[in-house]
Amino acid sequence: MKIMVVEDEEPIRNLIVINLEMVGYEVIPCSNGMEMKERLKTEVPDLILLDVMLPGIDGFSLIQMIDVEEIPVIFLTAKESVVDRVKGLRLGADDYIVKPFEAIELIARIEATLRRYKKGSKLLTFQSIELDPNQRIVRKDGQEVYLTVKEYDLLELFLQNRNIALTREQILEKDWGYDYLGMTRTVDMHVQRIREKLDLKDQLKTVFKVGYRLEG
């Protein structure tokens, strides 16, 4: 899947590109609106991350040149004004994320937006493991493996964020909700069961004093 990243600040753009490529996306980087317009003549991204404050043509003007019925747009901006957020959404943006943000939050919002457009329903694969988001079925070597609801959700989170270290708190917030914050032992127990059921002892690594990372 292709994500177009339109961001004029090179360090931010490069960081976004690295994180998206790490989880399997093909990335089309653009440094300004004119470059975006030229790339769209030959490239059809599945989603556009669009900075609002761009030199020349700003994001609010650029989104009006995009067919938002076909290509979802998430605004990236340092602006925190409610008026600006409302303006972006009324112009057709699907989401609005304020800088600075964590990679896991950005990726989660991208996944959620793609699911709404029914572009994120493809199989998630990792070595001999296959996760089907539509049927909520996990297979290893072609054989279905039974996972509980939370084990499935946790595996999906790792597959969507492979090679990214996730803290126990991030995992709890994403898959259990705020009421469970502080109960980090719950995460450890579920990770252990996933390792055993899917033989991921060597790939699902413990990151000392942080949490876990699926490597591969």
For the chain, give every residue range classified as CATH 3.40.50.2300. 2-116
Q: Which CATH number fits domain 124-214: 3.30.43.10, 3.40.50.720, 3.30.365.10, 1.10.10.10?
A: 1.10.10.10
Q: Which CATH architecture has domain 2-116?
A: 3-Layer(aba) Sandwich (3.40)
Q: What is the CA radius of gyration of the chain?
A: 19
Please identify every stretch of the chain with a pLDDT value under 50, giving residue numbers as ranges: none
pTM of the shown model: 0.59
Tell me the torsion sign for CA atoms 133, 180, 158, 15: positive
For the chain, give every residue range classified as CATH 1.10.10.10. 124-214
Residue 204 CB coordination number (10 Å): 21
Tokens of 118: 């029914």
